[in-house]
């Protein structure tokens, strides 16, 4: 999962959350899963664009795949796995964990694991929560994650954010998380500390907002960088969804 950046001792990890352009959180107009079936398919072109870049650079990434995507586009997920990239779960239906409950999340996670494993014929041992939605009051999710056989997690966002985050969490580098008899290797999102400020800079919308030279400045001064993209991040012509705020449109 980790690669050393040539030229320094930093560890850069490249991850892709494999979801469609309409898998935007907290939008009532798109929350109904039945609507997804009738929306434009853009994930093939955008994902192949990513795979082409990775292939040319000879870089492997971890793809956190929605079970819903795997079920609908099994050939795409199988192709990503055949290219040598790691496949993890991003849940089945992209539901925020802090809006779920113990029983619902357990079922959703297991469904995603079963769906993905049946396609790639490999054990799924990595997980990322939709929207990094494990918060202080939803830490119970780690027990379910551990019992499902997940060995590697990347769900902790140690700062405030729209869909989760743990503001008081002080660790933003890899560590071992002990859950009863289970041990999970946690790869949290890292941040850049500037005085009292904790600045996320290395994923999704942050890439679009932060100038590249500032990203390089932060990254080159970090021993560990966990990046995350979505296929839609590579699609300048993605459709806009009804009800999106001005910030989301940007």
Higher pLDDT, 171 or 142: 142
Quick one: residue 84, left, alpha or beta (phi over 0 = left, psi -120 to 50 = alpha)?
A: left
- Mean pLDDT of the region 21-44: 89
pLDDT category at 161 given cuts 50, 70, 90 is confident
Q: For residue range 57-87, what is the model confidence (pLDDT) as tens digits? A: 999 999 999 999 999 999 999 999 999 999 9
Q: Classify domain 3-249 at the CATH topology level.
A: TIM Barrel (3.20.20)
**What pLDDT shows up at residue 9?**
53
DSSP annotation of 210: S
Q: For residues 15 and 25, what is the distance between their CA atoms, to the nearest angstrom? A: 19
Q: For residue range 178-212, what is the model confidence (pLDDT) as tens digits? A: 999 999 999 999 999 888 888 899 998 888 889 99
**What pLDDT shows up at residue 121?**
98
Find, among 248, 246, 241, the residue nearest to 28 by Cα: 241
- What is the pTM (predicted TM-score) of this model? 0.94
């Amino acid at each position: 999962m980790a690669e050393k950046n040539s030229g320094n001792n930093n560890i850069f990890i490249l991850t892709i959350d494999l979801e469609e352009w309409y898998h935007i959180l907290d939008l009532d107009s798109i929350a109904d899963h039945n609507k997804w079936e009738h929306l434009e398919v853009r994930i093939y072109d955008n994902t192949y664009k990513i795979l082409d870049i990775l292939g040319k650079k000879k870089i492997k990434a971890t793809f956190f795949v929605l079970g819903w995507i795997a079920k609908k586009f099994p050939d795409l997920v199988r192709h990503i796995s055949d290219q040598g990239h790691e496949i993890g779960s991003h849940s089945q239906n992209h539901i925020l964990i802090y809006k779920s409950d113990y029983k619902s999340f357990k079922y959703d996670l297991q469904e995603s694991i079963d769906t993905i494993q049946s396609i790639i014929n490999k054990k799924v041992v990595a997980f990322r929560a939709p929207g990094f939605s494990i918060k202080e009051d939803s830490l119970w999710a780690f027990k379910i994650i551990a019992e499902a056989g997940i060995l590697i997690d990347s769900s902790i966002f140690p700062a405030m954010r729209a869909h989760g985050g743990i503001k008081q969490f002080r660790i933003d580098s890899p560590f071992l998380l002990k859950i009863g008899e289970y041990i999970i290797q946690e790869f949290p999102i890292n941040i850049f500390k500037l005085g009292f400020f904790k600045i996320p800079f290395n994923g999704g919308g942050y890439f679009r907002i932060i100038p590249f030279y500032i990203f390089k400045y932060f990254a080159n001064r970090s021993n560990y960088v966990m990046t995350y993209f979505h296929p839609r991040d590579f699609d300048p012509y993605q459709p806009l969804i009804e009800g999106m705020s001005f910030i989301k449109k940007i």
